[in-house]
Amino acid sequence: MATAIHLRRLGAAAVVATAASGAFLLQPSLSASDRGAGSSSLGAVRQRISDPNAVVPSRAAQEAALIGASAANPLDILVIGGGATGCGVALDATTRGLRVGLVEREDFSSGTSSRSTKLIHGGVRYLEKAVFNLDYGQLKLVFHALEERKQVIDNAPHLCHALPCMTPCFDWFEVVYYWMGLKMYDLVAALRLLHVSRYYSAQESVELFPTLARKGNNKSLKGTVVYYDGQMNDARLNVGLACTAALAGAAVLNHAEVVDLLKDEASNRTIGARIRDNLSGKEFNTYAKVVVNAAGPFCDSLRKMTDQDAKPMICPSSGVHIVLPDYYSPEGMGLIVPKTKDGRVVFMLPWLGRTIAGTTDSNTPITLLPEPHEDEIQFILDAICDYLNVKVRRTDVLSAWSGIRPLATDPSAKSTESISRDHVVCEDYPGLVTITGGKWTTYRGMAEDAVNAAIKSGKLTPENGCLTSKLQIVGGDGWDPASFTVIAQQYVRMKNSHGKVVPGVMDTAAAKHLSHAYGTLAERVAAIAQNENLGKRLAHGYPFLEAEVAYCARNEYCESAIDFIARRSRLAFLDTDAASRALPRVIEILATEHNWDDSRQKYELEKAKEFLKTFKSSKNAQFVHSFFTGTLTGGIFSGLNSGAKEYACHTQHMVIVTHL
């Protein structure tokens, strides 16, 4: 039986897990002082990444580099999976001077990493557990996550920011309890604190959050405690990590699936992978001294390629989010209810001009395109309506999606509640290092641990230690929150209108969006909008521009219409109807960039429409009222005029035809 080693990265201390037989020690994470990075290596890497004229190698060049990694001349590390973890590993390893490849079956961030709550957090809930269960392990988890929270925000300032979150209190005990708990969260954060938490009276609270309910459970609002966590644009951060790794020298390839692992029979060691390019159908082998399995919820299927009887490490749990119009929550203030009357956590967070509400936690099979179930969506709607002074309607759901948490567990654990949200690094098969679990917030530290394990496994010789704690991702170095003013003042949006090219203003919404999405590279996108007449909006009410499609095809490995609507822009997540309306133009521009013929364009349209159906907006959930045949429309809902309770009552008559 192969040896399994679990390494938990818990602060500075070396934590070593032993295995049943032949256990060996993994080195602890290198401390900052051990990193031996030397300012010269960091400076050189930074220069390469922040060069305003730098262009990522083409996809063809990346594939050629992977094909060129032969048994005689292997890569140091081949990473499988282009989520936050895999891209973090590729960036860490390549900036240590190692020769690195990464393959991703679909697109960077197409898995769980684009489907998160988008919070960069230390885990207030774990702090509560640490205190009540006197669990030092949980406390160290919070310490570590808070340290990483600060680094993620610092390293991608254009894509991340501090978000105030309001906790409503309907009795004075809650006020004291949450105030003390959140002050403790501030204290644990210490120097990594974003902003200090504080109490607001009921009157102040409703001024800050006008849609907050004044009463809950027949008790009047006593006030709120507001604390801070970080918020991000998860998929764009993930794509940014992939592009940064590519600029630093890694051969990263999306739409490339590992279909088998290559083994050296004599040494019983994994020595590479058989890869299928899912765009061309071509298959090839890539060899590496160490393979890092960062396939998220799918990591067991990779381990099974080595040993059919591999014990599962993943206990999958699905989480659903819904997106509602902006008027549900004010801009710049979230609402988090740590314990609803039936013990759930619910939240509503402003995000990219809309409101995200969630989430659920249910057992699930591991599937490529998880879909939210109607009862999960209604569960969220029911939960938030108790805390809102606004009519909560299913018809307001602009998009809804499901993601699978890759919780790493001991196979004998019973419920997901008892599972640690910590990460696991193991090399249970020689040459195959698996990294999974953890959370988005801690991707950098997870990557550091995985690369340390890979170095040990392959006896690799990096040029320097880990650099990523001080390395900004592409577009982040030199970015300033006021950068958008330059875009607004210096560029116009040239657009084709009725056969004529006309100039349009680069309005604040468009300028701010470009600045946040592309950081210091936003001017390149603005220049395309101006110089190539690609300045039109892709969907009414959203700031996404035609120029972004061309830019992403040229600079961000955007290879399909879905890549654009889901991960380069976030239209699919924000509003499925708007995404659907944008599709023809997105495909037209991608066709020009990638020389697609008519049949490829048709295929892209069909595939993207099918994809959008998995996001259960009100458009996609075909309701059938049990008293009437036909599709339930806004007309039926228009009879509801006094809020959440009525909503819940009427929904009992619905028969949902999807998912059954």
Question: 446 or 632: whose CB is closer to ligand FAD?
Answer: 446
- The single residue among 110, 270, 399, 651 that binds ligand FAD, judged by CB under 6 A, is 110
Q: Which of 74, 86, 330, 445 binds ligand FAD (CB under 6 A)?
A: 86
What's CA 445's distance to the chain center, in Å?
16
Handedness of CA 87, 319, 216, 171 (dihedral sign): negative
HSE at residue 415, side-chain half, CA atoms within 13 A, is 4
Among positions 28, 83, 350, 475, the unique one binding ligand FAD when judged by CB under 6 A: 83
Q: What is the DSSP string of 561-596?
A: HHIIIIIIS-HHHH-HHHHHHHHHHHHHHHHHHHT-
DSSP collapsed to 3 states, 76-126: EEEEECCCHHHHHHHHHHHHCCCCEEEECCCCCCCCHHHCCCCEECCCHHH
Please, which of residues 281-310 interact with ligand FAD by CB under 6 A? 294-298, 302
DSSP-derived pairing of the beta strands 75-80 and 283-293: parallel
Q: Which stretch binds ligand FAD (CB under 6 A): 77-85, 473-481, 539-547, 561-569?
A: 77-85
Query: Minimum CB separation from ligand FAD for residue 210, in Å?
Result: 25
* The binder of ligand FAD chosen from 106, 300, 371, 376 (CB under 6 A): 106
Residues 6+ apart with CB under 8 A from 525: 514, 518, 545, 547, 548, 551
Residue 503's CB is within 10 A of a number of other CB atoms, namely 12
CB nearer ligand FAD, residue 269 or residue 405: 405
DSSP line for 611-647: HHHTS--TTTS-EEETTS-SB--HHHHTT--S-HHHH
Q: Is the dihedral of CA 2, 8, 14, 15 positive or negative?
A: negative
Q: Which of 440, 542, 615, 647 binds ligand FAD (CB under 6 A)?
A: 440
| CA 433 – CA 291 distance, rounded (Å) | 6
Rounded to a whole number of angstroms, the minimum distance from the CB of residue 435 to ligand FAD is: 7
The answer to whether 302 and 80 are in contact (CB under 8 A) is yes
CB closer to ligand FAD, 403 vs 535: 403
Question: Which of 81, 97, 216, 535: binder of ligand FAD (CB under 6 A)?
Answer: 81
Among 63-71, 104-112, 188-196, 526-534, which window interacts with ligand FAD (CB under 6 A)?
A: 104-112
157, 223, 316, 403: residue in contact with ligand FAD (rule CB under 6 A): 403
Within 544-573, the residues that bind ligand FAD by CB under 6 A are: none
Q: At what angle do helices 644-651 and 374-385 cross, to 10 degrees?
A: 160
Asked if 122 touches ligand FAD (CB under 6 A), the answer is no
For residue 229, give the H/E element and its range. strand 223-232
Q: Which is nearer to ligand FAD, 275 or 521 (CB)?
A: 275
Q: Which window, 70-78, 79-87, 128-136, 391-399, contacts ligand FAD (CB under 6 A)?
A: 79-87
Residue 111 engages ligand FAD in binding (rule: CB under 6 A):
yes
Interface positions, 232-271, toward ligand FAD (CB under 6 A): 257-258
Q: Which of 35, 439, 512, 570 binds ligand FAD (CB under 6 A)?
A: 439
Q: Closer CB to ligand FAD, residue 491 or residue 573?
A: 573
Q: Which stretches of the chain bind ligand FAD, using CB under 6 A?
A: 80-86, 103-106, 110-113, 115-119, 121, 257-258, 294-298, 302, 319, 359, 403-406, 436, 438-441
